[in-house]
Amino acid sequence: MTTTTVTDVKRALVEAGLEVYRTRGDEVHIADRVRDNLIMDSGVSLAAGSPLRVGLVVRAQRSDFPTATIDDLFQHARALARAAAARGFVEREARVQDLNDPGNPERTLDTWYEVRFEKLVEGIAQAVDEARFALSIEKAARSDDGK
């Protein structure tokens, strides 16, 4: 079995019509969506190696659920990944990410409760298919009342 390199991953993603957002180490993050302010986001990644790893990060934001417990926030995030879990993605990490004000790093604008899922795949074609699937999943939980 040959090892797939970061260059191989980038090439395959571009050939599949997917846009590379950034590369960190052996992990290539895929441009996921463009928000209202035109900043690109990425909740899907593909890590080189053998086997390849397709990553998916989902989250719940404190501002969307101001009265929820930490456990509830993580559960809101996990609920987004039910279809991914049914497809073989496995939870690998749950973490709290503070979003600081760029103009005042002492001020926290929001807090994200993120859960990372991962699926191991053998070939680049399957990795691209799983990345496309992961791109179709909503990455941020929203409150039922739209707040």
Tokens 């990553």 correspond to: 55
What are the tens digits of pLDDT across the range 55-71?
A: 999 999 999 999 999 99
DSSP per-residue letters across 49-84:
BSSEEEEEEEEEEGGGSTT--HHHHHHHHHHHTHHH
Cβ pair 61, 114 in contact under 8 A: no
DSSP per-residue letters across 11-58:
HHHHHTTPPEEEEETTEEEEP-EE-TT--EE--EEEE-BSSEEEEEEE
Say which CATH architecture domain 6-135 belongs to.
Answer: 2-Layer Sandwich (3.30)
pLDDT-derived band at 88, boundaries 50, 70, 90:
very high
pLDDT score recorded for residue 103: 94
What are the tens digits of pLDDT across the range 110-142?
A: 999 999 999 999 899 999 999 999 999 999 998
Question: What share of the chain has pLDDT > 70, as a percent?
Answer: 91
What are the tens digits of pLDDT across the range 5-25?
A: 999 999 999 999 998 989 999
pLDDT-derived band at 143, boundaries 50, 70, 90:
confident
Segments making up each domain of the chain, as ranges:
6-135
Q: Is the predicted pLDDT of residue 147 greater than 50, yes or no?
A: no
pLDDT score recorded for residue 38: 55
Residues 6+ positions from 74 with CB-CB distance below 8 Å: 60, 94, 113, 115
What are the tens digits of pLDDT across the range 20-78?
A: 989 999 999 998 765 555 556 789 999 999 999 999 999 999 999 999 999 999 999 99
- What pTM was estimated for this model as a whole? 0.89
